[in-house]
Amino acid sequence: MLNTIRRRIVAVFVTCLAFVVILTGFYYWNLFSIERRLAIAENFEDLFNDILEIRRYEKNFLFYKDRDSLNQNISYINETKEITAKLAVDIAKVIGEEELQRFGSNLDSYKGMMAANQERTEGEASQIEVEKIRATGKELVDFSQNLLRIKRGRIHRALKRTLSIPIAFATSLVLLIALIFQLVVKNILKPLALIQHTTEDVAKGNYTPIPYEEGRRDEISELIAAFNKMAGEIESRQEEVVQSRKIAAIGTFTSGVAHELNNPINNIYLTAETLLEEYTDLSDAEANELMLDILNQADRAADIVKNLLDFSRSERPSFTDLSIAAVIDSTVKLVKNQIMVAGIGLERNLPEVVPDIRGNLRNLQHVFLNLLLNAIQAMPGGGSIEIAVSQDSSDYIRVDVKDTGTGIKPENLEHIFDPFFTTKGVGRGTGLGLSVTYSIVKAHGGYIEVGSEVNVGTTFSVFLPIEKRQVLGDS
């Protein structure tokens, strides 16, 4: 079953909503509870006040022998008994059933002692009776005070709990927002950034598919799968386009190659014929010059054949860990003499520490050899070449080969990597060098860019991968 991001987001929001509803319900329940406790506390306050009135009229009677005070005392005792009966359940919850019964017994005992004075027509209550009345009255007051104190404490705790609910709500809301943000970043933004990055690579000719978790099934994974399929189709179509271009250029190429090979072969034939016919009349120097011409023409024909073989070769070379500095140094050695003879200055800017790449030494030498030879040929009157190596990003090593030559016309820039396209004169190239270079760089998982200005110079930028991309879903 498809575990969609939409479903996950909906689940998170439903959870948040449920949490808010529960927290809000608890908040209002707590407020209702506080309101009820306040009402009970008011009743407990009334009970406490009645007991205080009982003690006040008790003192008036004992000091002044006032019969009205005695009657008022008895009246408040009866009222206290009625309130106690109404609040019995609430009182028991606060202070316990045992304490409630003791309070009831003390209240009955106190009433009995005070009522006994109503029946006396003469004489005073004994000192023992007075002390007992006062002690029992004090217990009644202590009970009501303790009852009110406990109830007020519970109300205070309920209020503190109510005040802490908004804090708990805000904290939980922040955590939920962080969870949603992480979900969005991990499942949406991060994959989209990877897709954007890979889209840029596709635009540069790198069709490496986006890796992702095998068991993952959601909209993003389907998007990535569709993107990978699209990239594969584009790559396939690209290959078809290249092949179509190759086929379309066969006619032009056939005549061009025939002309290219025919020139050195004819020269070899004519030179050899001259050498054969006039050997006896030639000086050693003239004979040597003719034989050198034959060798040069043979080398030229061999070079044409070599380029054709490089272009048609399809097998994947073996890759090893390579230092880009070592590749550059070994390549420069191959053209060192040509650079010196042409009067060209060479500058190398290589950082001390550069990550290794994986590649084929011979093929990469071929890439930079082609670029250096093109640069030399673009500066017949001398100039300078700069080779600069840098880490373009966490993914690629960048190698810039910059010359101060004649440059490339804007209308020719988009065709320079096309097979058999060349701006060189007849006999100076087959138009396969840069096409082979492009194919080698692409086979290494990289890409190549070019910038040029007529009569200013040209810069070829080669990008080679140094590490794999992070797999989608990894933390």
Domain span at residue 377 reads 223-465
Say which range, 128-132, 259-263, 382-386, has the weakest mean pLDDT: 259-263
Record the tokens describing residue 174, joined without a space: 């922040």
Maximum mean pLDDT: which of 4-8, 213-217, 342-346: 342-346
Pairing of strands 457-465, 396-403: antiparallel
| Per-residue CA distances from 124 to 64, 108, 113, 116 (Å) | 11, 21, 13, 11
Q: 409 lies in a domain?
A: yes
Dist. CA 290–CA 361, nearest whole Å? 37
DSSP one-letter code for 318: P
Residue 355 Cα to chain centre, angstroms: 24
Q: Are residue 434 and residue 357 in the same domain, yes or no?
A: yes
Q: What is the pLDDT of residues 341-362, one digit of tens each?
A: 888 999 999 888 888 898 888 8
Q: 94 lies in a domain?
A: yes
Dist. CA 366–CA 243, nearest whole Å? 22
Q: How many domains does the chain have?
A: 2
Q: Are residue 125 and residue 242 in the same domain, yes or no?
A: no
Mean pLDDT over residues 276-297, rounded? 71
Q: 213 lies in a domain?
A: no
Q: Are residue 171 and residue 319 in the same domain, yes or no?
A: no
Of the three residues 132, 165, 183, the one that is the final residue of a domain is 183
Pairing of strands 457-465, 447-453: antiparallel
Q: Tell me which residue of 12, 468, 2, 473 sits closest to 222, measured CA to CA.
A: 2
Q: Are residue 21 and residue 133 in the same domain, yes or no?
A: yes
Q: Are residue 251 and residue 140 in the same domain, yes or no?
A: no
Q: 203 lies in a domain?
A: no
Radius of gyration of the chain (CA): 51
| Per-residue CA distances from 335 to 174, 323, 467 (Å) | 65, 19, 30
Of the three residues 162, 183, 204, the one that is the final residue of a domain is 183
Q: Are residue 173 and residue 256 in the same domain, yes or no?
A: no
Burial class (CB in 10 A: 0-12, 13-18, 19+), 312: exposed
Fill in the amino acid letter for 135.
A
Residue 461 φ then ψ, to 5°: -115, 120
Residue 369 Cα to chain centre, angstroms: 40
CATH code of 257's domain: 3.30.565.10
Q: 24 lies in a domain?
A: yes
Of the three residues 183, 209, 231, the one that is the final residue of a domain is 183
Dist. CA 221–CA 351, nearest whole Å? 39
What's the mean per-residue pLDDT of the chain? Answer: 78
Q: What is the pLDDT of residue 182?
A: 74
CATH code of 69's domain: 1.20.1440.210
pLDDT at position 235 over 80: no
DSSP string computed for 222-258: HHHHHHHHHHHHHHHHHHHHHHHHHHHHHHHHHHHHH
Q: 194 lies in a domain?
A: no
Residue that wins the pLDDT comparison between 241 and 153: 153
Asked whether 441 and 365 are in contact (CB, 8 A), the reply is no
Q: 311 lies in a domain?
A: yes
The end-to-end CA distance of the chain, in Å, is 24
Q: Are residue 109 and residue 257 in the same domain, yes or no?
A: no
The answer to pTM > 0.75 is no
Q: What is the pLDDT of residues 136-168, one digit of tens each?
A: 989 999 988 898 888 888 888 878 877 777 777
Q: What is the pLDDT of residue 458?
A: 93
Q: Are residue 120 and residue 264 in the same domain, yes or no?
A: no
Q: 196 lies in a domain?
A: no
Q: Are residue 331 and residue 457 in the same domain, yes or no?
A: yes
Q: What is the pLDDT of residue 472?
A: 38
* pLDDT bucket at 448, cuts 50 / 70 / 90: very high
